[in-house]
Structure 1
Amino acid sequence: MSTVADFLTDPWQHVFMQRAFAVAVMCSIVSGVVGSHVVLRGMAFIGDAVSHSVFPGVAIAFVLEFNLVVGGAVAGLLTALAVAVFSQNRRLREDSVIGVFFAAAFGLGIVILSTAPGYGGSLESFLFGQILGISDGDVRTVAVAGAAVLLVAAAVHKELVTVSLDRETARAAGLPVFGLDILLYALVTITVVISLQAVGNILVLALLITPAACARLLTDRIGAMMVLAPAIGAGSAVVGLYLSYHRNLAAGGLIVLVATGVFVLCWVFAPRHGLLAGRRGRPRRPEGDPPPPAEHPDAPAPAVTGAG
């Protein structure tokens, strides 16, 4: 019994672990809410693009010996704005535009860093996360920025959902679709930037998308999804940090692996949309009956219902 108690309480005796738990949970909650909108719109690639588009801003900040987070945030917001503007051309799909700017931003970052010899070690925390080395100031920054993101997301929740489900209906209803696109990209950018220290640039997409994808499998209701995704993300972060502390392994990677494990469980065991639920709900065909017609590959999936 004491072994279990020690397992649970030992990490909390260290200030650096207390900070890590606080930042990981806060980032997971914000990522879960914003990531739900990203998953609903089927634009998971934007998270990867934004996480890499902050790279040139970080590179410039590093060369100029400026704050890396501020530099990354500015670059991410500018890239997000460019994606929103260029995506208005209906000849191009949004993911194509994202791919263009994703590659351009990363290429620019590499070119800039090539002018600063000896940069590799200094940016290791940006690439892989350094959640065990954050300061009290970092905790406050994440708390303030995260609270601001959640307040804005709550204020425009219905509008973002409407655009996600049917852009043409939203436009016909008089909603500023272009402005809402920019706002969502900005929310994604800020979420990515504040999460960099938790899991790093390489893994930040998982924190944004995986918990929301789990929630999408578990519920058809948007309100429930907005609760489940942050809960799954926060739970994965806590479990990952415990494993990191006791096994002396990389915290960011373990957080992502735990979240991925939850996704696999949801994919198999989700009550209505899991693999086993689909097999249980499929009626057996009597011998001699012709097979049912195959579903058209372009048939729409069941719509998400209710905002509450």
Structure 2
Amino acid sequence: MFEALQYDFIQNAIISGVLVSIAAGIIGSLVIANKITFLAGGIAHSSYGGIGLAIFLGVPVLFGATIFAIATAVIISLLTLKNRNRIDAIIGIMWAFGMALGIIFVDLTPGYNVDLMSYLFGSIIAVSKEDLIYLVILDFFIITLVLLFYKEILAVSYDSEFAQLRGINVKFFYTLILILAALSVVGAIKVVGLILVIALLTIPTYLAEMFVKKLSSMMILSSIIATLFTLIGLCISYYFDISSGASIIVVGVISLLLFKFLGKK
């Protein structure tokens, strides 16, 4: 693996993997704490509509996916905040609509022949300098907002009713968490793809929960675990010439099962 470090695409893959892991660790902790895993999954798959729209309009894919994902997050927030009984139906509709819309836009794009599988399952070796800039900005944005509003996010995540009584704008911070999840999903497109991104957001946090209970500690440990999964998955992908996204997730699932088994013992 060390001899491969001389190649720019390998360097970009490692850097992007670490940057995505930081975002995944922080946002994954919020996703688990707020019990919105299904919502994050719905946003992830809905983002495919933004990819298709970007391809159709001829704009950068990350830009189209970002705008679409943020819009989806806001819509889901408005529809689910006070209508939790219908949350599964709402997510299912948004999920299907986004995927269908993306497919239609791609079909309508004349002469488009790029492999869309890379967006669904990731293609970390195709990460560009522009993607790295996006990920650096994303991590800076997430870390800054979490540091600024940690107390409010903590209160909303664990007891929204108490937070509201304390005068915290629950609707705003609930929407903010969903938007940050949407941005993290877009950032992880090239690393693990839209299909597998929810696993990268949740598996490291499930593991971190076994060792820490404090939200801030969970964010840090989840980021470290996600980074380890990513680097190990990249090594396996390189040596066996298999999909990097799938390798990363398989490493994560096996690790989770192993620790669960050892925990019971």
TM-score, normalization: structure 2? 0.93
RMSD: 1.7
Q: Over alpha carbons, which structure has the higher Rg? A: 1
Counterpart of 1:62, as a letter, is: I
Q: In the alignment, what sits opposite 1:292?
A: none
Cα distance, 1:63 vs. partner? 1.1
Q: In the alignment, what sits opposite 1:299?
A: none
Percent pairwise identity: 29
Q: Which runs of 4+ in 1 moved over 4 A?
A: 117-120
> Does 1:28 pair with 2:17?
no
Q: In the alignment, what sits opposite 1:136?
A: 129
1:203 to 188, 193, 196: 196
Instruction: List per-residue Cα deviations over 1:191-248 (Å, max 9, x = no partner).
Output: 1111101111111111111111111222222232112100100001011111111221
Cα distance, 1:260 vs. partner? 1.3
Q: Which moved more, 1:119-128 or 1:176-185?
A: 119-128
Cα distance, 1:93 vs. partner? 4.5
> Does 1:52 pair with 2:41?
no
Structure that is richer in helix per residue: 2
Judging changes above 3 Å, is the alpha-carbon distance between structure 1 residues 174 and 85 closer, same or farther for their aligned structure 2 residues? same
Cα distance, 1:119 vs. partner? 4.5
Tell me if the contact between 2:51 and 2:62 (Cα under 8 Å) persists in the aligned partners. Answer: yes
2:165 to 172, 180, 194: 172
Cα distance, 1:125 vs. partner? 2.0
TM-score, normalization: structure 1? 0.81
- Distance in 2, matches of 1:120 and 1:45, equals 32
> Does 1:15 pair with 2:4?
no
> Does 1:150 pair with 2:165?
no
Counterpart of 2:48, as a letter, is: F
Counterpart of 2:73, as a letter, is: A
Judging changes above 3 Å, is the alpha-carbon distance between structure 1 residues 90 and 135 closer, same or farther for their aligned structure 2 residues? closer
1:193 to 160, 163, 186: 186
1:79 to 72, 77, 100: 72
Q: In the alignment, what sits opposite 2:207?
A: 214
Mapping for residues 47-126 of structure 1, pairs under 5 Å: 47-90=40-83, 92-116=85-109, 119=112, 121-126=114-119
Q: Which moved more, 1:124-133 or 1:98-107?
A: 98-107
- Distance in 2, matches of 1:240 and 1:79, equals 30
Counterpart of 2:96, as a letter, is: A
Counterpart of 1:149, as a letter, is: I
Cα distance, 1:266 vs. partner? 2.5
Counterpart of 2:98, as a letter, is: A
1:253 to 233, 246, 254: 246
Cα distance, 1:124 vs. partner? 2.8
Counterpart of 1:258, as a letter, is: V
Cα distance, 1:108 vs. partner? 2.3
Q: Secondary structure at the match of 1:218?
A: coil
Judging changes above 3 Å, is the alpha-carbon distance between structure 1 residues 96 and 122 closer, same or farther for their aligned structure 2 residues? same
Judging changes above 3 Å, is the alpha-carbon distance between structure 1 residues 40 and 171 closer, same or farther for their aligned structure 2 residues? same
Instruction: List per-residue Cα deviations over 1:54-98 (Å, max 9, x = no partner).
Output: 111111111111111111111111111111111133463434432
Counterpart of 1:244, as a letter, is: S
Tell me if the contact between 1:218 and 1:266 (Cα under 8 Å) persists in the aligned partners. Answer: no
- Distance in 1, matches of 2:29 and 2:164, equals 21
- Distance in 2, matches of 1:160 and 1:99, equals 26
Counterpart of 1:57, as a letter, is: G
Instruction: List per-residue Cα deviations over 1:120-173 (Å, max 9, x = no partner).
Output: 634232112121122222212211222112211222222112111111111111
